Chain A
Amino acid sequence: MRVKVRRIGDAMHPSEVVVQVKTIAGNENLVVDKRSIQHDSLAIGAPIARRGENWLVELPRETMQGAWRVWVKRNALTEDAEEARVA
């Protein structure tokens, strides 16, 4: 599974970038490697839990607010190519 992100700026190393994830509680910013981003999304493995339309996912890096797991709306998630193939 992948979570949609928005690039919001450069990070401190040329290989990194700051991205924003839209969660149900607001936006979370995190630094990731540029190579991790494909089609404006990040790989996050499988969702941890689900409550209605909200999904708990674990981000690949700790956010600037110190969070790893965040609740996102279903439309913030996309499948990766392999998953789409299996499905």
Chain B
Amino acid sequence: MILTDREIKIAIHRGLIRIEPPPDESEENSAYSATAVDLTLDPSIAIYDPQLPGLDSKIDPSSPGFNVERIADSLTRKHKLSSAGYPLPHGEFILAWTAEYIDLITEARLAARVEGKSSLARCGLAIHMTAPTIHCGFQGRVRLEIFNHSPIPIVLKPGMKICQLILEVTLGTPEKGYRGQFWGQTSTRKKKAKAA
């Protein structure tokens, strides 16, 4: 089941979800829609640089010691968005982050998906590459994989509404949120108490 705007607000109020800074609730610029809450673009982005002519490189995710962070870091240059924004050219791929920090409490029976906004999708802007799932227990900013499918540049500005977060109730508690099975079994205090 997908949470409605009312339920998202209640979940935030009860501490089941943390979104910082909190979503705008003003009537003029509300971040909420009926079944989602908009997230905004952080100024930090990483731009994939075009490959040098003659450079024959490939990514092999199955190679031992594969380190996607180091690969992405070596293939990108960091950029801070100014208020004027960055015109993302056609066919360019960047990594970006939401300005909001998200915390989905493990025991809250909530998971989420980050999805694009139709207004941007119709311009040709994709905000994720087939990996929209945010598992329960997630803490941090949501990473976005942004690609411009449009024939012309699309300007990205810090603070713009870039994606929407859809929160879903899970059917039951995931194993890592279920404290019955192994609860306290690694407790040093209990072991000490037992020994005594």
Assuming the contacts A33-B140, A48-B176, A64-B69, asked whether A13 and B97 have C-beta atoms less than 8 A apart, the reply is yes
Nearest A residue (CB) for B183: A46
Q: Mark A76-87, 1 if CB is under 8 A from B, else 0.
A: 010100011011
A15's partner among B66, B141, B183, B190 (CB-CB below 8 A) is: B141
Q: Which of A39-55 contact B (CB under 8 A)?
A: 43-48, 50, 55
Interface pair B176/A13, CB less than 8 Å apart: no
Size of the chain B interface, CB-CB below 8 angstroms: 40
Q: Which residues of A contact B177 (CB under 8 A)?
A: 45-46
Interface pair B95/A12, CB less than 8 Å apart: yes
In the assembled complex, B25 has its CB within 8 A of some CB on chain A: no
**A45 to B170 CA separation, bound complex (whole angstroms):** 16
**A35 to B20 CA separation, bound complex (whole angstroms):** 12
Q: Which residues of A contact B101 (CB under 8 A)?
A: 15, 33, 35
A to B contact number (C-beta, < 8 Å): 98
Q: Which of B48-104 contact A (CB under 8 A)?
A: 61, 66-69, 72-73, 76, 78, 95, 97, 101
Interface pair A64/B176, CB less than 8 Å apart: no
Interface pair A79/B187, CB less than 8 Å apart: yes
Size of the chain A interface, CB-CB below 8 angstroms: 37
Q: Mark B163-196, 1 if CB is under 8 A from A, else 0.
A: 0000000000011111101111111111000000
B78's partner among A12, A43, A48, A66 (CB-CB below 8 A) is: A12
Please name 16 further chain A to chain B contacts, defined as beta carbons within 8 Å, in addition to the given A48-B175, A55-B186, A60-B139, sorted by A numbering. Answer: A12-B46, A13-B141, A13-B143, A14-B44, A15-B141, A35-B101, A35-B139, A43-B139, A45-B177, A46-B182, A47-B182, A48-B176, A55-B182, A58-B137, A79-B187, A83-B187
Please give me the 9 A-B residue pairs with the lowest Cβ-Cβ distance, nearest first.
A33-B140, A45-B176, A87-B187, A45-B106, A58-B176, A36-B139, A48-B175, A47-B182, A87-B189
